Amino acid sequence: MTRMVEPGIRADAAGAGAPASPEPFEPPAAEPVRWSRHSLPVALAGVLSIVLIAAVLLVPLPYAILSPNQPTDTLGSVGPGKPLIVLGPGAPVAAHTTGALQLTTVRESGDSVSLVTAIRSWLDPVEAVVPLDVVRPAGSTSSQVRQQDAQQMAQSRDSATTAAMSSLGLLAVTLKQPVGGAPVGTVVTAAVRHRAGMPDVRTPLASAATLGTVTAACRAGDTLDLVTQAGSDVAAGACPAAGKAGLLADKAPFSVTINLEQVGGPSAGLMFALGILDKLSPAGDLTGGAVVAGTGTITDTGEVGPIGGVQQKIYGARDLGHARYFLVPADNCSEARATGHTGITLVKVTSLQDALDALATIRGASSAPLPPC
């Protein structure tokens, strides 16, 4: 008789069933990788292409990124109990002011950017990609640029103070050297230009810098007198020679301190001057409660000059400072218009007086239209 066995069960000599030992398994041998004489160069070329693409995307490029920055209110504070503009003893106390007069700045990238960063910024409508030498003169170091920016900022503060005080008639113009018998320190109030066969031209001296506008109009043979506070004329000699630096000095009745760190360059001059005037104005409150931003260099005599990065400053004023108006140097207007200026009114200014006139319209004290950019 034949005995049946379950699969996996074997019969031993005694006839008892026991588990069967599994058959040993050996995986098939792996096929060796065989490189043809064509596939190896293709693979190496692929790796090399990846490396080259990465290098191109990440290699530093001589460009800088300009982006909007948070504006700073010249009527506000830079820390607890530390106003941005501080008037020294003897300054008149203005009425309480509202609104804001914002100076604007631009955030700059470092010494270089990668192609990836440049493309991203180029696609961003509020950023700009510019050659590095636009923000840093060729051959200059970071230290030299910072030093130059600090010097320009210091000059901007001084010119803003002079322009603001002279517009209110607060400066005393004095002699820095003896002239026509008048000693050093003599206060002079006007300059009189003499030209043969022509009426004399008398120009009030609101500041020492005003003398430069007088001598700029001189011709050979013209002479100049300075009028002292006492009303006497002192001969200053040939008109062009009288315009040499060092003849006159400004004497302020009180000090002005501007507390602003880590910001360089000359572009805050206009807004510094307006901030000082707001604090000195007998009526106070030049803005009428409005938020007004702006930019522009300023001279001792109040002329406003162009600056860089105006588009990013406008974006920063609108989006971060929530300003309704932006004072634009006339020479920057074409660039400023390219922003589309949606949500903010661009006002063209060529001088400190232009800015004051615009503020009068903004606060409702004047019906004159705002000069558009």
Whether residue 92 lies inside any domain: the answer is yes
Note the pLDDT of residue 227.
Answer: 94
10-residue averages of pLDDT along the chain (373 residues): 40 47 59 58 66 60 87 91 90 78 89 77 85 77 84 94 93 91 93 94 92 89 92 87 76 92 90 94 81 96 95 95 97 93 92 96 93 93
Whether residue 294 lies inside any domain: the answer is yes
Taking the C-alpha atoms of residue 2 and residue 125, their distance in angstroms, rounded to an integer, is 93
Q: Which residues fall within 8 angstroms of residue 298, CB to CB, at 6 or more apart?
A: 156, 159, 160, 163, 269, 270, 272, 273, 304, 305, 352
Give the phi and the psi of residue 84 in degrees, each rounded to 5: -65, -40
Quick one: which of 289, 356, 346 has its CA closest to 314?
346
Contact 310, 334 (CB under 8 A): no
Taking the C-alpha atoms of residue 341 and residue 355, their distance in angstroms, rounded to an integer, is 19
Same-domain status, 281 and 350: yes
Whether residue 138 lies inside any domain: the answer is yes
Instruction: Enter the tokens of residue 12.
Output: 């031993």
Same-domain status, 328 and 353: yes
Same-domain status, 69 and 98: yes
Same-domain status, 115 and 232: no
Contact 281, 99 (CB under 8 A): no
Note the pLDDT of residue 228.
Answer: 94
Same-domain status, 102 and 212: no
Quick one: which of 173, 170, 155, 180 has its CA closest to 248?
173
Contact 346, 333 (CB under 8 A): yes
Q: How far apart are the first and last CA of the chain?
A: 116
Sign, Cα dihedral of 314, 315, 317, 323:
positive
Q: Which residues fall within 8 angstroms of residue 268, CB to CB, at 6 or more apart?
A: 103, 105, 153, 156, 160, 260, 295
Same-domain status, 264 and 330: yes
Same-domain status, 71 and 187: no
Whether residue 45 lies inside any domain: the answer is no
Give the structural domain span for 78.
63-169+254-362
Same-domain status, 259 and 155: yes
In which region does residue 343 sit, left (phi positive, over 0), alpha (psi from -120 to 50) or beta (all else)? Answer: left
Taking the C-alpha atoms of residue 206 and residue 221, their distance in angstroms, rounded to an integer, is 26
SS (H, E, C) 219-270: CCCCEEEEEECCCCEEEEEEHHHHCCCCCEEEECCCCEEECCCCCCCCCCHH
> CATH number, domain at 305?
3.30.230.10
Note the pLDDT of residue 46.
Answer: 66
Whether residue 8 lies inside any domain: the answer is no
Whether residue 107 lies inside any domain: the answer is yes
Whether residue 16 lies inside any domain: the answer is no
Same-domain status, 266 and 354: yes
Q: Does the reported pTM lie above 0.85?
A: no
Note the pLDDT of residue 81.
Answer: 82
Whether residue 111 lies inside any domain: the answer is yes
Looking up tokens 């990013």 gives 312
Same-domain status, 307 and 238: no
Quick one: which of 107, 23, 101, 98 has its CA closest to 65?
107
The count of residues in the chain is 373
Which of the listed residues 251, 275, 310 is the one where a domain comes to its end? 251
Task: Determine the angle formed by the axes of helices 352-362 and 269-280, rounding to 10 degrees.
Answer: 60
Same-domain status, 135 and 267: yes
Same-domain status, 189 and 214: yes
Give the CA angle between residues 329, 135, 106 to the nearest 5°. 55
Which of the listed residues 251, 286, 321 is the one where a domain comes to its end? 251
Which of the listed residues 219, 251, 283 is the one where a domain comes to its end? 251
Total structural domains in the chain? 2
